[in-house]
A and B are shown apart, each in its own frame.
Chain A
Amino acid sequence: MSTLSNQPPSHEVPEAFQDPGVPTEHRPRRADVDERAAKRAERQVAALFGMSALGTVIALVSYFALDIGDGNDIQAIQRINMGIGIGVALAMFGIGLGAIHWAKTLMRDHEMVEDRHELRSSDETREAALQDLRDGAKDSGIGVGRRGLLKGSLITALAVAPLSLLVPQLGGLGGDWNLDKWRRTMWAPGVRLARDPDGTPIRAADVTIGSVFHVIPEGLIDLEHPLEAKAKAVVILIRLDPKDLKIVPGREDWSFDGIVAYSKICTHVGCPVALYEQQTHHLLCPCHQSTFDVSDGCKVVFGPAKRPLPQLPIAVDDEGYIVSQRDFEEPIGSSYWERLK
């Protein structure tokens, strides 16, 4: 089948080098020839094993004698951690170093040779194995070209049987499989913007130029399971000097006197984009460093994200609190296949 072959080996006049064989001379260790050195090595090994036992004692004494404290005494926790830990380390090192030192100095170190056997089975074994299989196939009556119906139905049954288990198992994994949940957040007309984490609403007057507020919808903290809602609804609220702010066409009434609100969830893979630089008006994601320009519709100016952060349209209610006009106009966070469907 192959059209390849090795080049014929070039015929050198003298043969190749000969394997000189395993070196015969054996350089003796000090302990091999000097009984005193051997005794010394034995004492060293014994001392190491003794060190191990001492380590165990240190660990146990630390465990029983040291107090872990009331959680505010960092040093107390450090002490007990270190006391037990160093005890364990000594207990382990002592055994390990002792055993290795023993092996290195006192155990016989003459190298020995053992033959390998080729892994391939002999031709007879292979033939015998094949014959066994053929016999078995014959006994079962499913030799080549026979009982096609039986074989076909068995294969079909084996192929589809896993589905009887897998479909119910996998089917239950994803809850209600309702991807539409990714399109909606808690933001709705008139929902107040509130401080994260205490949930108090924010007045427009509170947001001075250069300020940044980390925002959740009012009422979020009263939910029984707030994390899923929070994972979509977190917003970052920033006030810029209105003359620094470039308004995206069509969003003229989405901001309020330089106050803008953007989703805090990165359009790359969903980290919270939270690092706001007051001078450059850049928002940086600490995970993969996508950088968004708040003064220009949160467009991406650097990094692996492609899309701007979704903007939350805001207004100010009668009492001076900032509220959302409605939900985001696009799904927040990272892209997914059905995002625009």
Chain B
Amino acid sequence: MTTSPSASKVNRAAGATANFVDERTSIAGFVKYFSRKLFPDHWSFMLGEVALYSFIILLISGVFLTAFFIPAVTPVHYEGTFETMAGVEMSEAYASTLHMSFEVPGGLLMRQIHHWAALIFTASIMVHMARVFFTGAFRKPREINWLVGFTLMILSLAAGFTGYSLPDDVLSGNGLRIIEGIVRSIPIVGSYISYGLFGGEFPGEALIPRLFTAHILLVPALILGLIALHLFLVFLHKHTQYPGGGRTHKNVVGLPLFPVYTAKAGGFFFVVFGVIALMASVLTINPVWNYGPYDPSPVSAGTQPDWYILWIDGLLRVMPGFPEYVIGGYTLSLNVLIPAVVVPGLFFGFLALYPWIEQWATGDRTEKHVLDRPRNVPVRTGIGVALIVFYVILVIEGSNDIVATLFHLSINDITWFIRFAVFILPVVAFWITKRICLGLQRKDRELVLHGHETGRIVRHESGEYVEVHEPLTDQEIWIRVSYDNHKPLVLEPETNEFGVRRRWYRWSRFKQAVSRFYYEDRVEPVTPAELEAARSSHH
């Protein structure tokens, strides 16, 4: 291939620029480090990217919105063009939201892009988290990164909720009033936290500006910082990979960042943007002009938070009212505290600590870079499905009025059903999932031992008809036998050989119970001996 004179001129210019930069930053080292970094190819590895990209879209559209939004509750009389609001008294925050929607061309589009991106941001974080959970990608050495990701998930909820409240409409205002009610239920300090939050009595004039600062500065800055840490750790650890031939805990098999993933992941950003822009152009979201400016008196049917808070609304709805107690003259409102603070705290706490809980069960302290197939860890998969079922039931309870009108049911019946279902169905889901996983593992064993069914029937000389089974290839076998076959930990005696009680004995007993729960029921992978025996019996 010959280079034309102009091409060589371009090359020289590029070389000179590269030289200039490198002499001042030693960037060549970074380029060398990053450009051929390998990433395994799998669709499920792109879910986290969706979260990252929707966050970038949030930043882009958010900058536009800040150019028009006025974070103040100063009352004004609406003078814009929207007919049903003519002359109505409203806050500047609400009026500026109407202004950017109806008088700025493309403003409504940016609002809708921003809000759809927010819903997709939270949803993709949870889908990504589920992928990491079910494949065991949180195991050593990634426990810290799991915590970083978990914190990002919580921050995404905070980002969403602070943004939802900014337009100062009736819907979000009632949402803030619910927050006030929840904060007030916290014993001893709750009332003061409420005063501190709202700058006095509800609704006050301080909250919208404070939420604005949190929404555009504090929370996004934290998210950005943690995203940087999250990605740094991904590069440091190198990506996990699904099991397969040649994929070990000591290597990574994949395609290079440059050019393949630059194109794929870079292109994927534009695709995510495209999907969100398409939704924003044809689907209305958060029509604040329907709800009207905030006023503490009105409320509309369908007063609900955005979907990611809906499960907490479901908890509030499903809780019976009786446990409110007065102790020594002080009111303890457990009917609010349990659903709004205690249960979410336990749920999130369990999620955050999960990597360590599982480590008690395995006792395995080696680095894990090959992912689990979910069936090979039946108890973890069962727990994951149970958590999802728990969450979804509560989302349904949080939407029970919509469900009731849609299916001609009674909200009271739905709530009564869910009061029981929220305890029973997750356990049922756990049990069924675990059974399915064990069944799939047994099927894998069958497949390895006896091969694929071919549908060809042959008749032996003896007159016996048998179906011909085609043995699996080495690659196919390896995927099905190469999993960690953990067994319940063995508890050593309470006293050592000198008759002295071992330290930490109770803790060990607890860990052993966890371990039994995880690995009592298990399906052993096929051994070469078993395969040998099975094959010889066939022939």
Whether B534 sits at the interface, judged by CB under 8 Å, is no
Binds A, one of B221-229, B296-304, B388-396, B456-464: B296-304
Q: Are A103 and B260 CB-contacts (below 8 A) given A174-B196, A227-B295, A268-B321?
A: yes
B250-289 CB mask vs A (1 if < 8 Å, else 0) is 1111111001110110111111111101101110000000
In the bound complex, do residue A338 and residue B273 qualify as a contact, i.e. CB atoms below 8 Å apart? no
Residues of chain A contacted by B499 (CB below 8 angstroms): none
**Cα of A225 to Cα of B296 in the assembled complex, Å:** 13
Q: Least Cβ distance of B342 to chain A in Å?
A: 14
Whether A16 sits at the interface, judged by CB under 8 Å, is yes
Residues of chain B contacted by A333 (CB below 8 angstroms): 181
**Which 5 pairs between the two chains have the least Cβ-Cβ distance?**
A85-B281, A269-B181, A71-B81, A99-B267, A96-B270
Q: Least Cβ distance of A194 to chain B in Å?
A: 12
What is B's interface to A at a CB cutoff of 8 Å? 36-38, 41, 80-83, 101-106, 108-109, 112-113, 141, 174, 177-178, 180-182, 184-188, 190-192, 194-197, 199-206, 236-238, 245-256, 259-261, 263-264, 266-275, 277-278, 280-282, 294-303, 313, 316-324, 326, 329-333, 335-336, 339-340, 363, 367, 369, 400-401, 411-412, 415, 474-475, 477-478, 481-482, 487, 489-493, 502-505, 508, 511-512, 527-529, 532
Whether A297 sits at the interface, judged by CB under 8 Å, is no
Interface core residue of A97, A170, A336 (most chain B CB under 10 Å):
A336
Whether A61 sits at the interface, judged by CB under 8 Å, is no
In the bound complex, do residue B185 and residue A334 qualify as a contact, i.e. CB atoms below 8 Å apart? yes
Q: Are A116 and B300 CB-contacts (below 8 A) given A12-B527, A304-B317?
A: no
Whether A14 sits at the interface, judged by CB under 8 Å, is yes
Q: Least Cβ distance of A1 to chain B in Å?
A: 6
Q: Least Cβ distance of B393 to chain A in Å?
A: 16
In the bound complex, do residue A82 and residue B282 qualify as a contact, i.e. CB atoms below 8 Å apart? yes
Q: Least Cβ distance of B445 to chain A in Å?
A: 13
Q: Are A334 and B330 CB-contacts (below 8 A) given A17-B528, A119-B237, A272-B299?
A: no
Q: Are A100 and B478 CB-contacts (below 8 A) given A84-B281, A112-B253?
A: no
Residues of chain B contacted by A94 (CB below 8 angstroms): 270
A80-B105, A86-B281, A304-B316 provided; 10 other pairs, C-beta below 8 A? A72-B82, A85-B278, A85-B280, A113-B253, A119-B141, A119-B236, A269-B181, A269-B185, A269-B336, A287-B313
What is A's interface to B at a CB cutoff of 8 Å? 1-7, 12-17, 19-23, 63, 66, 68-72, 77, 80-82, 84-86, 88-100, 102-104, 107-109, 111-116, 118-119, 170, 173-177, 179, 181-182, 196-197, 214, 216, 225, 227-228, 230-232, 234, 264-266, 268-272, 274-275, 286-290, 300, 302-307, 333-341
In the bound complex, do residue A71 and residue B82 qualify as a contact, i.e. CB atoms below 8 Å apart? yes
Cβ-defined partner of A337 (8 Å) among B81, B188, B199, B300: B188
Residues of chain B contacted by A63 (CB below 8 angstroms): 105-106
Residues of chain A contacted by B177 (CB below 8 angstroms): 231, 269-271
Q: Are A89 and B81 CB-contacts (below 8 A) given A2-B504, A63-B106?
A: no
**Cα of A107 to Cα of B255 in the assembled complex, Å:** 10
Residues of chain A contacted by B102 (CB below 8 angstroms): 68, 71, 77
Q: Are A341 and B490 CB-contacts (below 8 A) given A82-B282, A179-B195, A304-B336?
A: no
In the bound complex, do residue A340 and residue B299 qualify as a contact, i.e. CB atoms below 8 Å apart? no
Cβ-defined partner of A100 (8 Å) among B245, B268, B528: B268
Q: Least Cβ distance of B145 to chain A in Å?
A: 12
In the bound complex, do residue B264 and residue A7 qualify as a contact, i.e. CB atoms below 8 Å apart? no
Interface of A, secondary structure class, is loop
**Cα of A338 to Cα of B482 in the assembled complex, Å:** 61
In the bound complex, do residue B274 and residue A96 qualify as a contact, i.e. CB atoms below 8 Å apart? yes
**Cα of A89 to Cα of B260 in the assembled complex, Å:** 24
Residues of chain B contacted by A115 (CB below 8 angstroms): 250-251
Residues of chain A contacted by B254 (CB below 8 angstroms): 111-112, 114
Residue of B nearest to A196 (CB): B297
Residues of chain B contacted by A225 (CB below 8 angstroms): 205
Cβ-defined partner of B529 (8 Å) among A12, A21, A23: A12
In the bound complex, do residue A97 and residue B267 qualify as a contact, i.e. CB atoms below 8 Å apart? yes
Q: List 28 A-B contacts (CB under 8 A).
A: A4-B492, A12-B528, A17-B482, A68-B105, A77-B108, A81-B108, A90-B274, A94-B270, A96-B272, A116-B238, A116-B250, A175-B206, A196-B297, A197-B297, A264-B297, A269-B177, A274-B299, A286-B301, A289-B411, A290-B321, A300-B321, A304-B321, A334-B184, A335-B185, A336-B194, A337-B190, A339-B331, A341-B329
Q: Are A85 and B282 CB-contacts (below 8 A) given A20-B246, A103-B267, A107-B260?
A: yes
Cβ-defined partner of A269 (8 Å) among B178, B237, B253, B267: B178
In the bound complex, do residue B204 and residue A228 qualify as a contact, i.e. CB atoms below 8 Å apart? yes
**Cα of A80 to Cα of B246 in the assembled complex, Å:** 54
In the bound complex, do residue B297 and residue A338 qualify as a contact, i.e. CB atoms below 8 Å apart? no
In the bound complex, do residue B281 and residue A81 qualify as a contact, i.e. CB atoms below 8 Å apart? yes
Residues of chain A contacted by B206 (CB below 8 angstroms): 173, 175
Interface core residue of A12, A118, A175, A340 (most chain B CB under 10 Å):
A175
**Cα of A178 to Cα of B332 in the assembled complex, Å:** 20
In the bound complex, do residue B266 and residue A99 qualify as a contact, i.e. CB atoms below 8 Å apart? yes
Q: Least Cβ distance of A126 to chain B in Å?
A: 16
In the bound complex, do residue A337 and residue B196 qualify as a contact, i.e. CB atoms below 8 Å apart? no
In the bound complex, do residue A21 and residue B277 qualify as a contact, i.e. CB atoms below 8 Å apart? no
Residues of chain A contacted by B508 (CB below 8 angstroms): 2-4
Q: Least Cβ distance of B401 to chain A in Å?
A: 7
**Cα of A256 to Cα of B435 in the assembled complex, Å:** 65
Residues of chain B contacted by A230 (CB below 8 angstroms): 295-297
Residues of chain B contacted by A88 (CB below 8 angstroms): 109, 113, 273-274, 277, 281
In the bound complex, do residue B282 and residue A107 qualify as a contact, i.e. CB atoms below 8 Å apart? no
Residues of chain A contacted by B251 (CB below 8 angstroms): 113-116
Residues of chain B contacted by A269 (CB below 8 angstroms): 177-178, 180-182, 185, 316, 336, 340
**Cα of A231 to Cα of B320 in the assembled complex, Å:** 25
**Cα of A14 to Cα of B528 in the assembled complex, Å:** 6
Q: Least Cβ distance of A203 to chain B in Å?
A: 21
Residue of B nearest to A3 (CB): B492
Q: Least Cβ distance of B488 to chain A in Å?
A: 8
Q: Least Cβ distance of A98 to chain B in Å?
A: 7
Residue of B nearest to A4 (CB): B489
In the bound complex, do residue B192 and residue A174 qualify as a contact, i.e. CB atoms below 8 Å apart? yes
Residues of chain A contacted by B302 (CB below 8 angstroms): 286
Q: Least Cβ distance of B194 to chain A in Å?
A: 8
**Cα of A13 to Cα of B246 in the assembled complex, Å:** 24
**Cα of A182 to Cα of B317 in the assembled complex, Å:** 25
In the bound complex, do residue B297 and residue A271 qualify as a contact, i.e. CB atoms below 8 Å apart? no
In the bound complex, do residue A22 and residue B253 qualify as a contact, i.e. CB atoms below 8 Å apart? yes
Residue of B nearest to A100 (CB): B267
Interface core residue of B141, B200, B301, B491 (most chain A CB under 10 Å):
B200
**Cα of A121 to Cα of B493 in the assembled complex, Å:** 35
Q: Least Cβ distance of B280 to chain A in Å?
A: 5
Residues of chain A contacted by B367 (CB below 8 angstroms): 118-119
**Cα of A114 to Cα of B108 in the assembled complex, Å:** 48
In the bound complex, do residue B201 and residue A182 qualify as a contact, i.e. CB atoms below 8 Å apart? yes
In the bound complex, do residue B255 and residue A19 qualify as a contact, i.e. CB atoms below 8 Å apart? no
Q: Are A173 and B196 CB-contacts (below 8 A) given A14-B532, A16-B527, A287-B299?
A: yes
In the bound complex, do residue B295 and residue A197 qualify as a contact, i.e. CB atoms below 8 Å apart? yes
Residue of B nearest to A341 (CB): B329
In the bound complex, do residue B282 and residue A96 qualify as a contact, i.e. CB atoms below 8 Å apart? no
Residues of chain B contacted by A111 (CB below 8 angstroms): 41, 253-255
Residues of chain A contacted by B487 (CB below 8 angstroms): 6-7
Q: Are A86 and B278 CB-contacts (below 8 A) given A286-B303, A337-B330?
A: yes
In the bound complex, do residue B245 and residue A19 qualify as a contact, i.e. CB atoms below 8 Å apart? yes
Residue of A nearest to B283 (CB): A85
Residue of A nearest to B486 (CB): A6
Residues of chain B contacted by A3 (CB below 8 angstroms): 491-493, 502, 504-505, 508
Interface core residue of B194, B296, B321, B401 (most chain A CB under 10 Å):
B296
Q: Are A82 and B281 CB-contacts (below 8 A) given A23-B245, A71-B82?
A: yes
